[in-house]
Amino acid sequence: MKSALLTLALIATTAVSLQAQTTLRIRGSDTLGAKLVPQLAESFKKQGGKVSFDIAAEGSSTAFTNLAAGTAEIGMSSRKVKADERALCRSKGVTLTEFEIAWDMIVIVVNKNNPVSDLSKKQVLQIFAGDITDWSEVGGTPGPISLYTRNTSSGTYKDFIGLAMKGREYGKNSQKMAGNEQIASEVGSNANGVGYVGLAYAASKGTKVVTIGGVSPSVATVKDYPYSRPTYLYTSGEPTGTTKEFVDFCLSANGDSIVGKVGFVPKSLAK
């Protein structure tokens, strides 16, 4: 009898445990979703968070389409939500709540063998808009510039247009990549390559960082570097339950510490 009762108790305990385990679906930015949010998720679970994570990093715009469709509990975005995205969510009965999670910098990288080490903001604009097409025009070794950008679903793609290009479109010679790691890989293997990546990807193999008007991207220069920007998490309404617990963890001192270790600028240091 005791054995039967013990078995029933174990089954009940297991059922409660399984019931407590939930899945958080997180969708959006590659900049946040390739490294930072997975690290935060792992740390959250190690500290006792009873949750599994389903993270898909396919670009900031997918944060809002998924939140609107009810296929994500949390959206990741390397830019602020746009008016039409907020309207889409509202039309589906979703009111967005925004949380600033970290600061990032859009870093210009070239191949490690490229002699160019500094560019002015005007030169960056001209390169990415396609006005400058040969490295000799900016003091480099003669050769056609191979230009790599993010794809159109990326928040970084949009932010760079605003921060660096004064609203102009990318040059027709630009090649669109799915994520930071793909851009870094292409630039690292192409002597004429240039692209941009988030700060956490700035030390990628075969690449080097170009300073902008003498300013290098770092925690110390977060407010002076011209291509700095905050990054965000979004939820449908005010988060509750496990969603709230995870968001609170991301915004805590522990979360802030992880932000710095991964290569972003912690909010506490960006004030």
Nearest CA to 194 out of 137, 99, 111 is that of 111
Going from the C-alpha of 191 to that of each of 46, 110, 150, 172, 187, the distances in angstroms are 42, 8, 19, 20, 7
3-state secondary structure of 59: coil
3-state secondary structure of 149: strand
Q: Which CATH number describes the domain made up of 23-103+230-270?
A: 3.40.190.10
| CATH 3.40.190.10 segments of the chain | 23-103+230-270, 104-221
List, for the chain, all residue ranges whose pLDDT scores fall below the cut of 50: 1-20
104-221: what fold?
D-Maltodextrin-Binding Protein; domain 2 (3.40.190)
Q: What is the pLDDT of residues 66-120, one digit of tens each?
A: 999 999 999 999 999 999 999 999 999 999 999 999 999 999 999 999 999 999 9
92's tokens: 């589906």
As a whole number of Å, the CA-based R_g of the chain is 22
pTM of the predicted protein model: 0.87
